[in-house]
Amino acid sequence: MTIDINAAIAAIGAGIAIAGGAIGTGVAQSAIGSAGLGLYAENPKDLGIAILFLVLPETLVIFGLVIAILIMLAAGLV
């Protein structure tokens, strides 16, 4: 069995795309979560806004997944 070096590099790049998005989401949600909890403590009616802002960084992981799929499609791995 031979391993194509271009396919291996593409697979590593796809992993980095997903990992970068996940790390960025974690950092963003840590700051937004604490701020949202403070907002909720001051005014419980704003819970929906706090949850909305907490969910927004999840798009980073989705973008990372889309980029990883595009990389793997271009390399012929999928």
Q: How sure is the predictor about 35, in pLDDT bands with cuts at 50, 70 and 90?
A: very high
Is the pLDDT score of 38 beyond 90? yes
Q: Which of 7, 9, 23 is nearest to 60 (CA)?
A: 23
pLDDT tier at 3, thresholds 50, 70, 90: confident
Burial of 64 (0-12, 13-18, 19+ CB in 10 A): buried
**What pTM value is reported for the model?**
0.78
pLDDT of 73 reads 95
